[in-house]
Structure 1
């Protein structure tokens, strides 16, 4: 017996504004994976997150964002440079994929009845 159920664990996103790195390059396209229990535990053990509860979101995002533009090493220091709108977007995107499991909803065209998926609009967009 095989398990035919496949869970999506990685989700593409596009930041509303984008992260500007130290060289002045803009990074907007990224990939976020689902969070694990270990991710949550590491945030709780992080000294900066303990001292400032708002910093926990930066730590968790640095763990679950696996790619941003051509950057593959995502650190809290790097994410501190996010614009506020992008941080709000990522926070909502994280909650959506981890709590609801998907950032897409099935829809049907009212004229042709064709079914397809549409990415949910997030508040930061």
Structure 2
């Protein structure tokens, strides 16, 4: 499943183009496992967010791909927005289901 979003500020690329609309897909377990093997995450656990978002954002404006460098270049408010959006669509903020 995929979900459309619009960044509050937008990503400004090296040519001066602003990219605000995008698509994020639901995360799979592997999307959260693979970043843990990355040396950047091992030295800075907060970097996992950058890698995870670059894996699940399938489209951002007219960009050909969303790499960790793109995520690094986001304004802080846009990164915060995407983290909240990720948690929302993946239902990570809801209470745990009861186990029967």
- Higher relative contact order by CA 8 Å / sep ≥ 6: 1 or 2? 2
> What corresponds to 1:28 in structure 2?
20
Q: Secondary structure at the match of 1:53?
A: coil
> What corresponds to 2:10 in structure 1?
18
For structure 2, the 5+ residue unaligned runs are 93-100
Alpha-carbon distance in structure 2 between the residues aligned to 1:70 and 1:33: 17
CA contact (8 A) 1:66 1:72 kept: no
Task: Please report the RMSD computed on the Cα atoms of aligned residues, expressed in angstroms.
Answer: 1.0
Structure 1 length-normalised TM:
0.71
Max Rg structure: 1
For structure 1, the 5+ residue unaligned runs are 1-8, 101-125
Instruction: Provide the aligned length of Structure 1 versus Structure 2.
Output: 92
Q: Secondary structure at the match of 1:14?
A: strand
Moved over 2 A (4+): none
Structure 2 length-normalised TM:
0.88
